Amino acid sequence: MVKRKTKFVCQHCGYETAKWMGKCPGCHSWNAMVEETEIVKPHTRALFVHTEGGTTKPVSITTVETTQEPRIDTKFTEFNRVLGGGIVRGSLVLIGGDPGIGKSTLLLQICAQLASDDYSVLYISGEESVKQTKLRAERLHVTAKHLYVLSETNLEHIIQTVDEMKPAFVVIDSIQTIYRSEITSAPGSVSQVRECTAELMRLAKTKGIAIFIVGHVTKEGALAGPRILEHMVDTVLYFEGERHHTYRILRAVKNRFGSTNEIGIFEMKEMGLTEVKNPSEIFLEERSKGAAGSTVVASMEGTRPVLVEIQALVSPTSFGTPRRMATGIDHNRVSLLMAVLEKRVGLLLQNQDAYLKVAGGIKLDEPAIDLAIAVSIASSFRDQPTNHTDVVIGEVGLTGEVRRVSRIEQRVQEAAKLGFQRIIIPKSNIGGWNIPKGVEIIGIANVEEALYYALGEGKNGPIF
């Protein structure tokens, strides 16, 4: 017999309890416990179904035969890069991002490209009607006849349509609007999102259909719904970018078929999203020459080197405690590097406000940007501009030493390609690779040496 069980589920982390609580014991969120009714069946369907009809006995891994499954090219180089080379059949991909960032636009353009290559594509929208989807398609000039659209939120009807149509690709926009009629909770709740994603995973694996699902994000920037949602899918992509900037970054944070932390860069235009082939040139095109506090660093995003500008503004504080603000980098790292500059170099920064920004809206979190941050702060403090043809790379330790970084050859080659003539790198990174022609490499051991070569003698006197 079917039994009904009442429970309270946290809408942030999925913690379950038999009684209501004001504060969730799992994530410590207040007023996040919502009552839900769970239907307990004596027999539940397995998530994965053995399609070959054989036994599920364990076998030796050496006897398992594998075939190299070709990836499907989407004709979007940036999207292929993030996925690891293309779409894998039978994969479940989750794409998250802020409202209005361009998730639906990107997926509709990719669906149109796949449909133009004679693949059958089913685009299911739970937020828009078929006519609204058609209006957006007309704006993007999407006219592929193999692209089918459906406005549906009932999961049972969606599965029935997929069984009848047998498409090669399916897009669910969005998972928070899909519901199963067997579950009494509202669409978007923890139970609905978890069960619908599990059913879509079974559908993708058993029928070999690549399914893309769109997920909303919370105010903190994390994907809405239970944390298990990210564990269930094969790939998790975040679509990032400032609403007032035209550039968008597609970042992979989980990928079972490729590298993580890979990024693809797009530009939002009136006709939709277009790929940015050379992001370094885009991020540096508006850089001011001769401005104090500006430094260029070569940062690695996955396997791609990207040159970005770090800007710093240091000014005397009018408060008892100086302010430390940063956009695109961790403000705690800024405070740490300012302490190193004050203790190891002798710059009096304890009564100075510091504001730092990564130009272009990109976020950097690797240690190789430490030295560029330190040079930017010192340049703004001394009001002495850096050379506009210099690139600074290196990790800074608490004792003031500059430590080696990874993939130095790719970083230097990217800087040389854009015309930079002098690159300041850690001394331990010199040797074992080819230096491009026309580029001067300077190896330094500590922050003092880096500031000497980057700033030298300023109009306010020596740096040290």
pLDDT tens for each residue of the chain, 464 residues long = 556 678 888 877 778 888 899 998 888 888 888 887 766 655 554 444 444 444 568 889 888 887 777 899 999 999 999 998 899 999 999 999 888 888 999 999 999 999 999 999 999 999 899 999 999 999 999 988 899 999 999 999 999 999 999 999 999 998 989 999 888 788 888 888 888 999 999 999 999 999 999 988 766 656 656 667 888 899 999 988 766 678 888 989 899 988 877 888 898 888 889 998 888 888 888 888 888 999 999 999 878 899 999 999 999 998 888 999 999 999 999 999 999 999 999 999 999 999 999 987 788 989 999 999 999 999 999 999 999 999 999 999 999 999 999 999 999 999 999 999 999 999 999 988 999 999 999 999 999 999 999 987 433 444 44
Is the residue at 325 inside a domain? yes
Q: Is residue 46 part of a domain?
A: no
Number of Cβ within a 10 Å radius of residue 244: 6
Predicted confidence at residue 171, as pLDDT, reads 96
- Do residues 154 and 257 both lie within one domain? yes
CATH number of the domain that residue 159 is part of: 3.40.50.300
177 lies in the same domain as 307: no
Residues 256 and 303 in one domain: no
In a domain, 246, yes or no: yes
| pTM score of the predicted model | 0.76
Q: How many angstroms separate the CA atoms of 130 and 127, rounded?
A: 10
322 and 212 both lie in a single domain = no
- Which two tokens mark 93? 């991909």
Domain end, chosen from 277, 296, 319, is at 277
Q: Are residues 266 and 288 in the same domain?
A: no
Same-domain status, 373 and 261: no
Q: Which of the listed residues 217, 250, 277 is the one where a domain comes to its end?
A: 277
- Two tokens, residue 80: 């292929």
How many domains, the chain?
3
Shared-domain flag, residues 220 and 344: no
9 in a structural domain: yes
Q: Residue 401's closest CA among 443, 347, 432, 456?
A: 443
Would 51 be classed as within a structural domain?
Answer: no
Residue positions forming the annotated binding site: 97-104
Parallel, antiparallel or unpaired: strands 16-17 and 390-392? unpaired
Nearest to 192 by CA among 5, 9, 6: 9
392 and 332, same domain (yes or no): yes
Domain stops at, among 249, 277, 305 = 277
Are 348 and 266 contained in the same domain?
no
What residues form the annotated binding site for ATP? 97-104
Residues 25 and 172 in one domain: no
Q: Do 301 and 230 share a structural domain?
A: no
Q: Is the bond into 288 cis (omega within 30 degrees of 0)? A: no
In a domain, 355, yes or no: yes
Q: 290 and 273 in one domain? A: no
CATH number for position 344: 3.30.230.10
Residue 58 inside a domain? The answer is no
Is 161 a member of any domain? yes
User: Domain containing 380: what range?
Assistant: 282-454
